[in-house]
Amino acid sequence: MQMPSIGLGTFRLEGAPLIGSLETGLELGYRHIDTAQIYGNEAEVGQVLSQSALPRSDLFLTTKVWTSEFGPGKVIPSLELSLEKLKTDYLDLALIHWPSPSDEVAMAVYLEQLAEARERGLTREIGVSNFTSAQIKQAVSILGAGAITHQQIEVHPLLQNRIVRDVCRELGIAVTAYMPLAYGKVLDEPVLKEIAARHGASPAQVSLAWLHAQGMTVIPSSTKREHQAANLAALDLRLSAEEMAAIAPLDRGERCANPDFAPAWD
């Protein structure tokens, strides 16, 4: 199954809010679910998906391997545990969540295990997340061209991450934009408000449409039905070349996800 261009993000969602978000999202037509080992919600995601009437083949399911599971012999058992929690026998996409902090574990060690997981059928595709342009080039040199199909990075009008995106495009690696609304900061941008008013839309929808127009998948998270529906509708919003150009200068490197173990960003 090809990755749908919009998915349900589950970061910081657990319990009833998570379950409600997933149930509503599936009802509205979402078929792409993004989770991670560190989120602590894989079991709840699995509970909802196993109770859904939708066949597994209609869903695109992504999880991410946490940095504690990078050592020799650890990646595959961690993914097997994720599959058990998610109540499925395969993932559509398994990602390395962050590069190993300070290169404590050599990249080849965990990437080669991830490639083996794909060979064993634990996941159909593999990729990375939060890799710099140099790191993504290194990853491709380790596994070879075409092995890594996806990179998940923070992208929104306030952080456009052009250098990394350009490298991914050159290498044929699809980009998924997480935090596409910058924790709601895009809602206050005058340029986005002006464009939104022109289309009878919201600034959030403009941000999502801007990302979609550049070929990126988006994974916003929301617990409100109306917001989920609006996010879906954003994919039908068509921005003019002038509007796309007006958004470009909003890039000010405003990064929302920047933990102390993050790599040296481009």
Residues marked as catalytic: 39
Instruction: Provide the β-strand partners of residue 177.
Output: 153, 218
Query: What residues contact 157, with CB distance under 8 A and at least 6 apart?
Result: 182, 186, 189, 192, 207, 210, 247, 250, 251
Which residue in 138, 1, 261 sits closest to 128, CA to CA? Answer: 138
Annotated binding-site positions for substrate:
97
Please report the beta strands in 130-164, taking only residues with DSSP state E, as ranges in sequence order. Answer: 148-154
CB distance 176 to 220 below 8 Å: no
C-alpha 123/C-alpha 64 separation (Å) is: 11
Annotated binding-site positions:
97
Q: What is the DSSP track for 179-207?
A: STTGGGGGGG-HHHHHHHHHHT--HHHHH
Residue that the structure tokens 């398994």 belong to: 94
The DSSP call for residue 64 is E
C-alpha 212/C-alpha 218 separation (Å) is: 7
Exposed (0-12), middle (13-18) or buried (19+): which is 44, by Cβ within 10 Å? Answer: buried
CB distance 109 to 72 below 8 Å: yes
